Amino acid sequence: MQNKWFSSWRQEGSNGAVNGTPEPASTKTEQDAFEVRATASPAANGFAGSTSELQAFDEIYRAAGIKGPRLGYSIGKVIEMLQNEHIRNLATETKRASLLMALDAAGVQVDEVLQDATLRQRAINSYEAIQRKHLEEYEARKAQENCAIQAEMERVSAEYAARISNNLEEVAREKDGFRKWQLKKQGEAQRISEAVALCVTPTGPKPAGDTMSAFRELANAIDPAFVNRG
């Protein structure tokens, strides 16, 4: 994936600041301008949509227009040399002397290697700055989405809570109405029992509250055959 913001590297390269030539001090302001351009408009520069889309370093260098320096002695080549088993365990000063000797033998100026390192460091720093800005904007958008989701969730929750409350109130009203009816029913039953008791003549001692006996007596007063059927 080629990032458009790296095109500015090629323009700066035409001013003599590309690999192989030491960067003049006057290009300091150009570097600052490049960094501003690199981070100015992330939405138009093809950023990574996720960490899986982040570019590898070689892709970043290639997109920045960084070419291999003269004779191939890039900073990457120097790093590879320093990892050689014959050098990596040497003391620092001995390691430095060996490296400088190897560069001199190859006809490579140290400034060329340093210039290559500077360009690559600037490239990955600028890429990091843009991706960080992109990530911050992405986080901000998701935070806004989360706020909207939270507000919607609270609205729906309040709506359903109101419906639940209404249901509970309706049930409470029904229960209250049923309890009032039960009280009335008890009064009605009491009046019926009292009326029945007055409609029959006691024939002997009966258990208190024997409603069925009272009904039989009432029925016998109306139809004596009823008792015989029982």
C-beta of residue 44 within 8 angstroms of C-beta of residue 4: yes
More confident residue, 67 or 147: 147
| The pTM of the whole model exceeds 0.85 | no
Cβ burial, residue 45 (10 Å; 0-12/13-18/19+): middle
> Which of these ranges, 36-50, 126-140, 204-218, has the smallest mean pLDDT?
36-50
Delimit the domains of the chain by residue range: 4-158, 172-229
Q: CA separation (Å) from 230 to 67, 196, 226?
A: 118, 19, 6
CB count, 10 Å around CB of 191? 10
Residue 186 sits at φ, ψ, to 5 deg, of -60, -40
**Measured distance CA(145)–CA(142) in Å, rounded:** 5
**Residues 102-146 pLDDT 10s:** 888 888 888 888 988 999 999 999 999 999 999 999 999 999 999
**Measured distance CA(16)–CA(31) in Å, rounded:** 13
**Measured distance CA(195)–CA(183) in Å, rounded:** 19
Cβ burial, residue 149 (10 Å; 0-12/13-18/19+): exposed
**Residues 172-197 pLDDT 10s:** 999 999 999 999 999 999 999 999 98
